[in-house]
């Protein structure tokens, strides 16, 4: 079976070999040595100019893999934010997902990400809106809901209620019974 068919055809042979070598490592020290080497390679790749969106997606997945195994990949955070600016929707989605994993509400890169989220929330493309909205919920609203500060908690609830669909009213009280006359609200006008 070929490497392409085993990796789904969208990941490189190098990534497949990385996962395979970590899976076959016999100790935590051997695994750490492999990841430290991978981090050095990632730093080198990410410092290159004009990286394609396809390569950047893979580099972000590799950085997530390094972080999952307990190593620092903070050098890749800015690239994850940059990936959210891509026109390619799949690349943009990977950028948002990696930002959700890498960043927290007080991270210094949040300002850049919030600007991108605001732009994407106003997009006509529903995939861009959904990607941005997932990040808003994860990085902005959820920390507010957990806050002990009542103002922040209220902000979180208001934000969630803004995006929660509401059913239409069962009965329109203005027009429900013409015999009752205008509603008290209409009479006050």
In-domain check, residue 82: yes
Q: Is the pLDDT confidence value at 3 over 50?
A: no
- Given a contact cutoff of 8 angstroms between Cβ atoms, the answer to whether 130 and 123 are in contact is no
CA 16 to CA 21: how far, in whole Å?
A: 9
The continuous run of DSSP H or E covering 132 comes out as helix 126-135
pLDDT given for residue 170 in this prediction: 57
Count of CB atoms within 10 A of residue 43's CB? Answer: 13
Q: Which two tokens stand for residue 158?
A: 């208001």
Cα–Cα dist 88/162, whole Å: 28
Hey, what are 122's tokens? 């106003």
Q: Are 120 and 113 in contact (CB under 8 A)?
A: no
What total of structural domains would you count in the chain?
A: 1
Rounded Cα distance between 79 and 108, Å, is 14
Q: What is the structure's pLDDT at 26?
A: 93
Judge whether 101 lies within some domain: yes
In a domain, 98, yes or no: yes
173 located within any domain: no
Asked, for residue 54, whether it belongs to a domain, the answer is yes
pLDDT in tens, 46-84: 999 889 888 998 999 999 999 999 999 999 999 999 999
Residues composing the chain: 189
The token pair at 140 is 């902005």
What pLDDT is stored for residue 35 in this prediction? Answer: 94
103 Cβ neighbours under 8 A, 6+ residues apart: 77, 80, 109, 110, 113, 139
Whether residue 162 is predicted with pLDDT greater than 60 in this model: the reply is: no
Q: Residue 106 sits in which domain range?
A: 8-17+43-134
Q: Considering the domain boundaries, does residue 175 fall inside one?
A: no
Q: Quick: pLDDT tens for 85-143.
A: 988 888 889 998 999 889 887 889 988 888 888 888 888 888 888 888 888 777 766 55
Say yes or no to pLDDT of 182 above 80.
Answer: no
Does 160 map to a domain?
Answer: no
**Domain annotation covers residue 110:** yes
pTM: 0.69
Enumerate residues 6+ apart whose C-beta is below 8 A from 107.
Answer: 77
What per-residue confidence (pLDDT) applies to 136? Answer: 79
The candidate with the shortest Cα–Cα distance to 84, out of 136, 159, 15, is 136
Q: Which two tokens stand for residue 26?
A: 């016999």
């Amino acid at each position: 079976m070929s490497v392409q068919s085993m990796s789904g055809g969208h990941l490189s042979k190098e990534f497949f070999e990385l996962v395979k070598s970590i899976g076959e490592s016999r100790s935590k020290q051997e695994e750490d040595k492999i990841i430290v080497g991978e981090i050095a390679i990632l730093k080198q790749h990410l410092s290159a100019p004009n990286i394609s969106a396809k390569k950047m997606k893979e580099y972000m997945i590799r950085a997530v893999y390094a972080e999952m195994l307990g190593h620092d990949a903070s050098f890749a955070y800015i690239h994850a934010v940059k990936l959210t600016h891509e026109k390619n929707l799949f690349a943009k989605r990977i950028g948002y997902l990696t930002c959700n994993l890498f960043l927290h509400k007080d991270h210094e890169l949040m300002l850049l990400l919030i600007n991108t989220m605001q732009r994407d929330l106003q997009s006509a493309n529903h995939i861009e809106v959904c990607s941005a909205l997932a990040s808003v919920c994860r990085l902005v609203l959820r920390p507010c809901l957990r806050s002990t500060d009542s103002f922040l908690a209220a902000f979180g609830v208001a934000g969630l209620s803004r995006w929660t669909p509401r059913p239409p009213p069962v009965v329109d009280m203005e027009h429900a019974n013409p015999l009752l006359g205008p509603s008290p609200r209409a009479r006050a006008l």
